[in-house]
Structure 1
């Protein structure tokens, strides 16, 4: 995973990059990534975003330690170019919408500078033990708002 310093990112100031090694076992007989791996990698990148922005607190810790779940209610992915083991997959990840009880992340996957997929992933905040809708805690909301790029919600 690599999170570039803001000075190096310029216009991409709040885009987090998560690096994934695509392996032979991730591929189908056509020698490209199984379609089902792509949402997995996108969700892995979102989890890594949480960990980087919340000082090591990812989905597991949010659920277990803070009783906060974030089940997904929508995933939309547009495929642009095949993914292979030839290059690292760089998942550029950022929140693009924060509602009262929901959050949408944008994840764009690149290999060798080529856009392979782009997607939006929406989840709702819930009290994990009751699985009831909840507002995100103020500290979490502040972190998300600090990195929100709503112009990319389109």
Structure 2
């Protein structure tokens, strides 16, 4: 039997479940710090596919821009071991003129926090690789998954 190490549990809220593999860990059995960005980037990619409409194109391609990483931050809360299971919930935070934030909170299935992270893409023109404003169509798509931002409140009234 083949067991997946990662799969989507829910679209609303968006949550993926990941099982820690032995190969993610050092000889003492603790997950390498460098594996956490991999967990984040994988969750962000799946979340971005949902926002894009799961149409086989990236979120940026769907809206005519590139969306490289401008920055990412982590707050590590709990150590992980082989076989541990985490649920990573993703949502859109602040939406600025050219960049936006994807927030991710990882917890065990029993609800114990594991890490908080933020991934911040920036929109760039595909032809020149220079920053550009978030296209209106992308902004509208992001707002559907946003939480706790003033722009969202305005859009809902």
TM over 0.5: yes
RMSD, aligned α-carbons: 2.1
2:125 is matched with which residue: 124, 127, 133?
Answer: 127
Task: Indicate the structure (1 or 2) with the bigger Cα radius of gyration.
Answer: 2
- Deviation string 1:9-55 (CA, Å, 9 cap, x unpaired) is xxxxxx31012232111111221211111011111111111111222
CA distance in 2, matches of 1:54, 1:63: 8
1:102-113 map, 5 Å: 102-112=99-109, 113=111
Q: CA deviation at 1:62?
A: 4.1
Name the SS for the 1:2 alignment partner.
strand
Classify 1:54/1:66 alpha carbon distance in 2 versus 1 (closer, same or farther; 3 Å).
closer
* Residue in structure 1 matching 2:98, options 95, 98, 101: 101
Report the structure, 1 or 2, having the larger helix content: 1
Map Cα deviations across residues 73-113 of structure 1 (whole Å, 9 max, x no partner). 22110110012232322111111111110011111111232
How many residues are treated as equivalent by the alignment? 141
Do the aligned partners of residues 41 and 102 (structure 1) sit closer, same or farther apart at CA in structure 2, a change above 3 Å counting?
A: same
What does residue range 55-66 of structure 1 map to in structure 2 within 5 Å? 55-57=53-55, 61-62=58-59
User: Is the contact between residue 125 and residue 134 of structure 1 (CA under 8 Å) also seen in structure 2?
Assistant: yes
Equivalent residue number for residue 77 of structure 2: 80
What residue number does 2:153 align with? none
5+ unaligned residues in a row in structure 1: which ranges?
Answer: 6-14
Cα separation, 2, equivalents of 1:52 and 1:63: 12
Gapped regions of structure 2 (runs ≥ 5): 1-7, 150-157
Contact residue 50 and residue 57 of structure 1 kept, 8 A: no
Per the alignment, do residues 65 and 123 of structure 1 end up closer, same or farther by CA in structure 2, a change over 3 Å counting? closer
- Mean Cα deviation higher: 62-71 or 113-122: 62-71
**Contact 1:67 1:129 (C-alpha < 8 Å) held by counterparts:** no
Counterparts of 1:141 and 1:67, CA distance in 2 = 12
